[in-house]
Amino acid sequence: MLTINEIFYSIQGEATRAGEPCVFVRLTACDLRCSWCDTPYAFYEGRKRSIDDVLSEVEQHQCRLVEITGGEPLLQEDVYPLMSMLLDRGFTVMLETGGHRPIGRVPKDVIKIMDVKCPGSGESDQNHWQNLDVLARHDEVKFVVKDRVDYEFAREVISRHALSSRVAAVLLSPVHGVLDPKTLSEWMLADHLPARLQLQLHKLIWSPETRGV
Ligand code: SF4
């Protein structure tokens, strides 16, 4: 059984699959409290559903790209069989994780989009640094950047771990409504940073508060 917050079909707003139709499976609960979290409704709201029930709803959307997100999806043990069963049925599976839980048991064909938490989140001491050693080439690493301190933290981590040569993409995402994307772009250009600016497409298409998109 899994506690599910919501399942919906929308446009992928983040990472290198941005712009593609995607089915999202949002799992309930998170053990972090990032200062800029945009899904606090996923901390507690949700209902228990069987894996078969979740698979059946995903298949109804007739879309081969699925993202498992949260909250923090790796808090629920049954997320592992769910990911395996989606892969077995031929779906391309992405996993959004906060980067503080070990990722070693995630099936290898799942594309992990893993956060490294910057100081402005208030949760940077929770980063599980060993995760950087088990990332696959197809994975992506995301830094949500609130200010210059966060930017310099991300720049240092990218350099120290040679991230851009080890994963498919290194993403820098400005906190929506807090850090001007233009400012972040200028910092990245000045440093020739080997990373990709990410804007949350769904917040540009729909209002930032809209849920289920
Ligand atoms: S890890 Fe994700 S869901 Fe949890 S508090 Fe941070 S942003 Fe929100």
* Beta bridge partner(s), residue 169: 140
Report helix, strand or coil for 138. coil
- Give how far Cα 151 sits from Cα of 15, 67, 147, Å: 18, 27, 6
What sign has the CA pseudo-torsion 47, 35, 16, 205? positive
The minimum-distance atom of ligand 1 relative to the CA of 30 is: 4
Yes or no: say if 131 and 167 are a contact pair by the CB < 8 Å rule.
no
The minimum-distance atom of ligand 1 relative to the CA of 123 is: 6
Sequence-distant (6+) residues with CB within 8 A of 177 are 208
CB of 111 within 6 A of ligand 1: the answer is no
CB of 4 within 6 A of ligand 1: the answer is no
CB of 82 within 6 A of ligand 1: the answer is no
- At residue 211, the pLDDT reads 83
Please classify residue 90 by burial: count the beta carbons closer than 10 Å to its beta carbon, then call 0-12 exposed, 13-18 middle and 19+ buried. Answer: exposed
Instruction: Report residue 82 CA to chain centroid gap.
Output: 17
CB of 96 within 6 A of ligand 1: the answer is no
Q: Could you tell me the pTM of the whole model? A: 0.95
CB of 157 within 6 A of ligand 1: the answer is no
Distance between CA atoms of residues 212 and 126, nearest Å? 28
Tokens of 170: 């290194």
- At residue 212, the pLDDT reads 82
pLDDT averaged over 10-residue windows placed end to end, the chain, 213 residues = 98 95 98 97 97 98 98 98 98 98 98 98 98 98 98 98 98 97 98 97 87 83
Tell me, in angstroms, the distance from the centre of ligand 1 to residue 37's CA.
5
CB of 33 within 6 A of ligand 1: the answer is yes
Yes or no: say if 117 and 99 are a contact pair by the CB < 8 Å rule.
yes
Rg (CA), the chain: 16
Distance between CA atoms of residues 144 and 174, nearest Å? 6
- Residue among 14, 28, 39 to mutate when testing ligand 1 (max atoms within 8 A of CB): 39
- Residue among 24, 30, 103, 117 to mutate when testing ligand 1 (max atoms within 8 A of CB): 30
Distance between CA atoms of residues 202 and 131, nearest Å? 28
